[in-house]
């Protein structure tokens, strides 16, 4: 699929990250989850990203319920494969979820099985279709084949996905069942490797947390230029770095380190001088790179949707970006938004 087709299919630069609907960090009431999706829809958001992993199917169930009755041709859905959600239950506290252990402590207790084989990929997609009450999924990301989940075993998991999920999704795209596929990861290395493969060929990637105002240097070295050169697109997940950029306590799903908190404070001091909101700075920075197709901030409260839209529309003076660059807070090669 050509780049222009991918970008044309994505309705806008601002999407909806549904991870919080899986009870990420807290037990979210059903009515609040439903109202949040409804607020996004009323704001004009038409791209929704989710995954079976988010609350062991809870995010997909809630998204499907909230979008029920909406014209399917009016919105785009991406979900992920690599985890199969079973009917049997398990001890949530005993799950080995890599660096995200405890993040979905309030999710469903259904057993989660890591499996990147072809059969598991097809089963996962069938289950996702049922949970979301839809007849098709637009984009599919192979989820978390990276160091943060599998440590030293990640390359073995990647190879399993290469022989299983990658080829299955390549075939589904060629058959017109899905519009495109790629990796959905929190690390740059898996994306670098898959872009070097002769086959199969992905179309789009979801890179979470690695092209943000707080952490973008590594992605700038190889992933972003390689994607641009090959005509591939990047969806930026976690543009606020798990909330750390906007005053939250977490970075990378864990308490922010003193170094991160210091960097946030330095950025905020310059932002305050120029009257720039931190959400606006973070969101617009992530979207400024030409390889980026969209950003998908997560939201669990309806009020967050209006905040994201305001951040998109805020006018940021060019001097703000110059100050950040001069202070060494953004990489010299990082594109910044064009002053409006």
Neighbours of 112 (CB within 10 A): 22
Query: 47, 49, 127, 211: which one is catalytic?
Result: 49
Query: 47, 75, 80, 211: which one is catalytic?
Result: 80
Apex 260 CA angle, 256 and 261, nearest 5: 80
Active-site residue flag, 54: yes
CA pair distance 255, 242, nearest whole angstrom: 10
What counts of helices (H) and strands (E) characterise the chain?
14, 12
Active-site residue flag, 80: yes
DSSP string, 54-94: TTTTHHHHHHHHHHTTS-GGG-EEEEEESEEEEEEE--GGG
Contact 279, 298 (CB under 8 A): no
From 279, 286, 296, 79, select the one nearest 179 (Cα to Cα). 79
SS3 label, residue 16: strand
Query: 47, 54, 75, 240: which one is catalytic?
Result: 54
Q: How many CA atoms lie within 13 A of 317 on its CB side?
A: 10
From 68, 64, 44, select the one nearest 54 (Cα to Cα). 64
Token pair, residue 264, equals: 């946030």
CA pair distance 313, 296, nearest whole angstrom: 16
Apex 323 CA angle, 318 and 327, nearest 5: 150
From 306, 283, 319, 219, select the one nearest 38 (Cα to Cα). 306
Token pair, residue 188, equals: 């740059």
From 132, 119, 281, 146, select the one nearest 205 (Cα to Cα). 146
Residues belonging to the active site: 49, 54, 80
């Amino acid at each position: 699929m050509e780049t222009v087709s991918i970008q044309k299919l994505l309705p806008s630069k601002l999407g909806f990250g549904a991870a919080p609907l899986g009870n990420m960090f807290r037990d979210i009431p059903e009515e609040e989850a439903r109202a949040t999706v409804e607020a996004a829809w009323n704001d004009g958001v038409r791209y929704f990203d989710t995954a079976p992993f988010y609350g062991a199917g809870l995010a997909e169930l809630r998204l499907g319920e909230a979008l029920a009755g909406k014209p399917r041709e009016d919105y785009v859905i991406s979900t992920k494969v690599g985890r199969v959600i079973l009917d049997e239950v398990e001890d949530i506290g005993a799950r080995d979820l890599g660096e995200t252990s405890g993040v979905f402590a309030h999710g469903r207790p259904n057993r989660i099985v890591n499996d990147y084989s072809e059969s598991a990929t097809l089963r996962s997609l069938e289950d996702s279709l049922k949970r979301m009450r839809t007849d098709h999924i637009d984009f599919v990301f192979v989820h978390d084949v990276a160091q943060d989940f599998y440590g030293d075993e990640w390359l073995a998991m990647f190879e399993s996905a290469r022989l299983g999920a990658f080829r299955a999704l390549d075939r589904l795209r060629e058959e017109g069942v899905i519009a495109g596929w790629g990796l959905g990861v929190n690390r740059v290395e898996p994306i670098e490797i898959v872009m070097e493969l002769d086959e199969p060929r992905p179309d789009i990637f979801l890179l979470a947390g690695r092209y943000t105002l707080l952490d973008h240097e590594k992605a700038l070295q190889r992933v972003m230029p390689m994607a641009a050169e090959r005509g591939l697109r990047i969806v930026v997940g976690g543009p606020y770095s798990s909330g750390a950029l906007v005053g939250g306590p977490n970075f990378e799903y864990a308490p922010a380190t003193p170094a991160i908190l210091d960097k946030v404070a330095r950025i905020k001091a310059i932002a305050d001088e120029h009257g720039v909101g931190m959400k606006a700075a973070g969101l617009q920075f992530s979207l400024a790179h030409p390889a980026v197709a969209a950003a998908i901030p997560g939201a669990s409260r309806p009020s967050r949707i209006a905040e994201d839209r305001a951040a998109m529309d805020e006018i940021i003076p060019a001097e703000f970006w110059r100050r950040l660059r001069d202070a060494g807070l953004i990489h010299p090669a990082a594109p910044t938004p064009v002053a409006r």
